[in-house]
Structure 1
Amino acid sequence: MSHAVTLRSLCRAPEIGANSYHLSFGDTNIVIDAGMHPKQDGDEAVPQFHLLDANSVDAIFVSHAHLDHIGTLPVLQREQPHARVYMTPEVVDLADALLHNSVNVMTSQGDELGIDAYPLFTHGDLDELSQVWQGQHYRKTFEPFWDQDLQVTFRDAGHVLGSAGILFEAEGKRVFYTGDVQFNDQTLIKGADFEDLGPLDALIVETTRGNAPSSPDFDREAEVARLIEDMTETLHRNGSVLIPVFAMGKTQEVLTMIQNAKEAGDLPDVPVTIGGLSTKMTTIYDRYATNANRKRPDFRILRDMELRAGTRRRGKSVPIRYQEQAIYALSSGMMSEHTVSNKFARNFLPNPANSVHFVGYSDPSTPSYHVRQASTGDLISLDESKDPVQLNCQVEEYQFSGHSTREQLLDFIVASGAKKIFLVHGDLSASQWFERELAERMPDAEVTIPEPGVDYTL
């Protein structure tokens, strides 16, 4: 006898940030992801875990290690102490490093901004709670409970190292959660492995790029070539290059682009410096270099590239020294206040020989967005506590998204043949684009943008 299967969004709104979803398969209760909202502070950054009964969750499944999917996992674990926790082995390592760093960031913000709730958890909490995390490999179906009818399979989502789409099979239903997905190969990470999923009863799918129509002329390799050419031009005029990058994902992709170009003779063999959390993340990427989802399984970034890394002495970071004809790949990608890229930019942006190259998303509230929107000679506020700086250097932007285009995702959804489709992880207007398109292409499917706190039957 089959029981009801339901989905409830624990997000605070239909948007990106604080991602978390509750699935019930009869008496089995699971939660997918436990993110932190990047634009909120304190308790407002946490999903609506209060919608869950105490000690009601049997298992937690994590799609990947970005903070908007894993940033409040320790909070959820504290509230659901009996829940088992599953992710890929790569995410086990990445999450441990990222969440420990998050404790440091929250502690600083708590002190500087007076946020009483910070940190949401401590290093000690994390050390204890991470002991129950279990790594499961791609395409290896496992049963989390010996006495409950639930089978789970992780599939490579191609987004960042260890990212997974998750297939749940129970109560006669097959439910697939995409997480964040990239179908195309990137420079280092291969595209998603979502082939042969079989018939689906329900699909929970991200809609990140629903507001971004893709150009039919876009070619990723040509975009890489443009980045290398622009950097080479800067180096030949005795300037230096700044690439603000996210510590996990973009850093390793950009470093691989640089190494490929150096090996091909397309980029001068100049010093490359990384800083912030990037070194620790790159160490973990190298640890899993032989994984099948790597385009260069023989390539280990820290071993094969002569990188310079930002250092710490007596617990404090040492400012990175500027030199001509050098490349700096520094986090954070949005040049947020107090990060390495933000501090370095203060003396870098005024030099007209230099160039800054943006390879990822910039939120409108961040310094990186202000730099991208500015004109030569404009004054830029990098840190509200300090004087603005004049932008004299060259600014360039490139498209290297870790998310699939909306057209690719739409084709995947249609091909899945899912009877019920839930559109998540996107601004409301982005999800609504998918809703309109699917009304035409899949008129018999039930398409929903789930309202937080509402139960939907699958």
Structure 2
Amino acid sequence: MRFRNLTRRREIGANSYLLEAGDHRVVLDSGMHPKMAGYGAMPDFGPLPHKSANAVLITHAHHDHIGSLPVLQRKQPNTPVLMTEITGELSSAMLHNSVNVMTKQREEESITEYPLFTHRELDEIRAQWIYRDIDRPFEIPDTNLEATMFDAGHILGSTGVLIREGSNTLFYTGDVNFEAQTICRAADFPTSGIDVMITETTRGDYARPEGFSRKNEKERLAGVIRDTHEAGGAVMIPVFALGKTQEVMMMLHELHEEGLIPEMPLYIGGLSTKITVLYDHYASRSRRSYPGFRLLDDMKMLVPRKGRKRQEIISSPRTLYALSSGMMTEHTVSNTFAQKFLDNPRNTVCFVGYTDPESPGYKIRNATPGTKIKLAKDLPAVELRARVESFDLSAHASREQIAEYIEKVKPKKLLLVHGEEPAQMWFTRRFNETIPGTEIIRPEPHQPIELW
């Protein structure tokens, strides 16, 4: 068994990895780089000959894990794509939205190769998608490999994948969370009998403060919402449409039910609504908290969208806005909304997840009051007068939680992926001390690595 990293650089980006066992080839994930555009945002599929893959395994439906899947399937036209049913349905919604975004970028930013695929092509490639249940072993078609998917606790439908070849085993974590969120329960991963592990390292350069608890973070968020409500302001929570929106919605419902926040109207965006429809569809058929609870029907505070036409969301006092994107990327709903929101000192922006250092969201959460911030190239700078608060409600496991899991498993080989250089180095230093018998590898792009 040989491993190749198909990403173009060693960082968080277009996740995709190739396993080669004799003549058999299996691809793990097929993402797009969130900060890049065009074909340069894709993995480099060079080491994977046309029509040679036996299967593609998808761990979850975030863009950096599925964004290039239609292009990969064009190169591997008859290859089955294996994932959970929830991941498949969410992936379809996210990829159709991606076509719309790329079409707009072609017009506005003159990216001539966009869109990289079409709505029609997406409908056609779904014929190759095969759904598998978690915790049930299955054969990877036309190979001597067996796979089992385990709940990763990251977003609904997310999995880690165990692959077995004879007596040898490999486990790929995908994106993982080892603590329960509001909807998603904690990951349920195997802890023994793993020879090789491929793990994400997203939060390796972030140390949680002493005494941290998710409960305290939620109560601190409630306090900020109460303060803003009393001041006659509004609260904006930048969120990702898939996963974070639904977690925040459920959390706000909890806080209201517990009497920690007053009843306030809650607005979400169009893509977030489409994804929430799917979360509600699987409310009783997935491993989650609040089984049967339907966010769009059962949340008292939610303001339902009127019709399918896109409407501009206008800021009103004493109102909650959970708007995507979470990093406030140019021309997303949260980005354009902020243009008329940030200059009001009664308002508050609450960040609840990761923001890339180059994103508008990062600029806002690290700016001093009164700073002029340019949210998009074609928009005038806006003065930051709103209150800004940050909360650690990440959907990724902390570095300590990942480290403790790996130290329990003690694999013979450990491959560190999906993380920046400082993050990977933190894990390397720790494991050199705690599990000296494990070979630590940080795979370079295309570097062939013998696993067994």
Bucket of the pairwise TM-score, normalised by the shorter protein: over 0.9
Q: CA shift at 1:204, angstroms?
A: 0.5
Match of 2:6? 10
AA at the equivalent of 1:277: L
AA at the equivalent of 1:438: F
Q: CA shift at 1:298, angstroms?
A: 3.0
Q: CA shift at 1:309, angstroms?
A: 4.5
- CA distance in 1 between counterparts of 2:202 and 2:285 reads 27
1:133 maps onto 2:129 in alignment = yes
Equivalences for residues 169-188 of structure 1 within 5 A: 169-188=164-183
- CA distance in 2 between counterparts of 1:339 and 1:322 reads 16
* Cα deviations by residue, 1:56-76 (Å, 9 ceiling, x for unpaired): 101000011111011000010
AA at the equivalent of 1:7: F
Name the TM-score, length of structure 1 as normaliser. Answer: 0.96
Contact 1:276/1:339 (CA < 8 Å) preserved in 2? Answer: no
Q: CA shift at 1:183, angstroms?
A: 0.3
Match of 1:385? 378
Contact 2:71/2:116 (CA < 8 Å) preserved in 1? Answer: yes
Find 1:290's aligned residue among 284, 288, 296: 284
- CA distance in 2 between counterparts of 1:444 and 1:353 reads 56
- CA distance in 1 between counterparts of 2:292 and 2:74 reads 40
Equivalences for residues 34-433 of structure 1 within 5 A: 34-145=30-141, 148-195=143-190, 197-306=191-300, 307-309=302-304, 317-433=310-426
- CA distance in 1 between counterparts of 2:397 and 2:86 reads 21
- CA distance in 1 between counterparts of 2:98 and 2:6 reads 21
1:456 maps onto 2:449 in alignment = yes
Q: CA shift at 1:214, angstroms?
A: 2.2
Name the TM-score, length of structure 2 as normaliser. Answer: 0.97
**226-235 vs 436-445, which deviates more?**
436-445
SS at match of 2:139: coil
Q: CA RMSD in A?
A: 1.4
Count how many residue pairs are aligned between Structure 1 and Structure 2: 450
- CA distance in 1 between counterparts of 2:423 and 2:314 reads 42
Distance verdict in 2 for CA 1:311–1:22, change over 3 Å: farther
* Cα deviations by residue, 1:240-260 (Å, 9 ceiling, x for unpaired): 111111101111111111101
AA at the equivalent of 1:433: W
Q: CA shift at 1:403, angstroms?
A: 0.9
Distance verdict in 2 for CA 1:384–1:312, change over 3 Å: farther
Match of 1:440? 433
Contact 1:33/1:69 (CA < 8 Å) preserved in 2? Answer: yes
Contact 2:138/2:147 (CA < 8 Å) preserved in 1? Answer: yes
- CA distance in 2 between counterparts of 1:215 and 1:320 reads 36
- CA distance in 1 between counterparts of 2:358 and 2:324 reads 17
Identity %: 47
Q: CA shift at 1:382, angstroms?
A: 1.4
SS at match of 2:340: helix
**285-294 vs 126-135, which deviates more?**
285-294
Q: List runs of 5+ in structure 1 lacking aligned partners.
A: none
* Cα deviations by residue, 1:112-135 (Å, 9 ceiling, x for unpaired): 111121111111111111221111
Q: List runs of 5+ in structure 2 lacking aligned partners.
A: none
Q: CA shift at 1:144, angstroms?
A: 2.7
Contact 2:54/2:143 (CA < 8 Å) preserved in 1? Answer: no
- CA distance in 2 between counterparts of 1:254 and 1:53 reads 43
SS at match of 1:348: coil
- CA distance in 2 between counterparts of 1:39 and 1:239 reads 32
- CA distance in 1 between counterparts of 2:403 and 2:234 reads 41
SS at match of 1:166: strand
- CA distance in 2 between counterparts of 1:274 and 1:309 reads 9
